[in-house]
């Protein structure tokens, strides 16, 4: 039997636990021996998650250069630019609306980010979009 990574084991255990809950059966994954086996598997193969590389100005400019001149290309340009300027994650970008844009005293726009991964209570940050003039 091939050795599985601890993350794969956790996913499989979650699947088994879910099926047992759906069928209203006792959950075998709650047993102490299962927890012990997962901890042993983690100790055998310790690994830190790898950090994704950030987008640099050069990469952003290359992304913008390949966007088309049609409506889809314009949308992609806006998503790349706003994502780069605000450091928003994908889910935060998707949640933005036109009403979230507002002019600021710098003559540019601020955008209201209502809820973010690093702001779970929704205190709503308003980063400035330096490249968009009002």
Give 10-52 pLDDT, tens digit per residue.
999 999 999 999 999 999 999 999 989 888 888 887 777 788 8
Domain 57-133: CATH class, spelled out: mainly alpha
Residues of the chain with CATH 1.10.443.10: 57-133
d(CA 56, CA 81): 12
Q: How far is CA 81 from CA 70, 93, 103, 125, in A?
A: 16, 11, 17, 18
Element (H, E) at 108: strand 108-111
Query: What is the reported pLDDT for 116?
Result: 72
User: What phi and psi values does residue 113 have, to the nearest 5 degrees?
Assistant: -100, 100
Count of other CB atoms within 10 angstroms of residue 40: 10
Structure-token pair, residue 19: 């099926």
């Amino acid at each position: 039997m091939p050795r599985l990574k601890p993350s794969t084991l956790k996913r499989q255990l979650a699947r088994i636990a879910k099926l047992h809950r759906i069928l209203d059966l006792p959950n075998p994954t709650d047993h102490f021996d299962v927890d012990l086996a997962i901890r042993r598997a983690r100790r055998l193969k310790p690994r830190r998650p790898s950090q994704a590389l950030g987008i640099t100005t050069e990469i952003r400019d290359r992304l913008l250069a390949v966007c088309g001149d049609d409506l889809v290309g314009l949308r992609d340009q806006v998503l790349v630019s706003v994502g780069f300027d605000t450091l928003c994650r994908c889910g935060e970008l998707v949640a933005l609306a036109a009403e979230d844009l507002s002019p600021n005293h710098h003559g540019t726009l601020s955008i209201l980010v209502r809820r973010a991964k690093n702001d779970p209570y929704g205190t709503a940050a308003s980063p400035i979009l330096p490249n968009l003039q009002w």
